[in-house]
Structure 1
Amino acid sequence: MTEERPGTAEVVDSVLGALADPTRRQLLDLLAAQGEATATALAEYLPVSRQAVVKHLAVLDAAGLVSSSRIGREVRFAVRPAALDTTAQWMASLAAYWDRRLANIKRVAEAAERDSDSRRPE
């Protein structure tokens, strides 16, 4: 199909697994909109506890989607776009592969139809 860089499959698997959960997608959206935020601030927007938010952020962090930094007593989270970029590139490559395959099927089908039409008596 397409050639992947080393580690790409692991990154994509991790990102897709993390984004399979709607709460994690919502957290990522919130962080993208806010730039950075604490788990406490993020929990205000979600129907889950702060502890649940922390657990979801840990999954996003493990997937390389967010980073955390301690500022005094606060831990602030921000989006890390590299893993998303890698996943988007993989998806674009997959889409291009299928576009080429479908275009080839279309060409074969159209050629078969033209051939069939040319054999019909008028």
Structure 2
Amino acid sequence: MSENNQLRDVFDAIADPTRRRLIRLLAEKDEIPLHELTVQFPMGRTAVSKHLTILKEAGLVLDRKVGRETRFRLNAAPLREIQDWVAFYSKFWSVNLMRLNQFLEEEEE
């Protein structure tokens, strides 16, 4: 768990393509009402709400009530965990490809 006291793993939360699309939509605007998000998907409001709940449990989505409407916005901070994980393996591959290149150059000589 990170310092955000997340209830759900960020990797688990972004594993679903629908949730990744929700994150993308939320990244494009400051705040989006649930009804505007729902029309973007071939599923009902309840299904979209369930996906948003999973993202919320991972700390990726924040919501607030405005009258009878719920508006959602992205909290990208938990994505840092994924960025750090990918960066580690990016460095791993970069180093190993450099070693392979050196090996191949030595073999040519």
What's the TM-score, normalizing by structure 1? Answer: 0.73
3-state SS of the aligned residue for 1:105? helix
More helix by share: 1
What is the root-mean-square deviation of aligned Cα atoms in Å?
A: 2.3
CA displacement at 1:99 relative to structure 2: 0.5
Q: Is 1:35–2:21 an aligned residue pair? A: no
Distance 2:29 2:40 in 1: 12
CA displacement at 1:45 relative to structure 2: 1.6
3-state SS of the aligned residue for 1:111? helix
**Which residue of structure 1 aligns with residue 13 of structure 2?**
18
Percent identity (aligned): 37
Deviations 1:36-63 (A, max 9, x none): 1222221012111000010000111122
Q: Report runs of 4+ in structure 1 exceeding 4 Å deviation.
A: none
What's the TM-score, normalizing by structure 2? Answer: 0.81
| Aligned counterpart for 1:52 among listed residues 44, 47, 53 | 47
> Tell me, which stretches of 5 or more residues in structure 1 are unaligned?
1-5, 115-122
After the TM superposition, which residues 55-94 of structure 1 pair with which residues of structure 2 at under 5 Å, given as runs?
55-94=50-89
Moved more, 26-35 or 49-58: 26-35
**How many pairs align?**
106
CA radius of gyration, larger in: 1
3-state SS of the aligned residue for 2:41? coil
| Aligned counterpart for 1:105 among listed residues 96, 100, 103 | 100
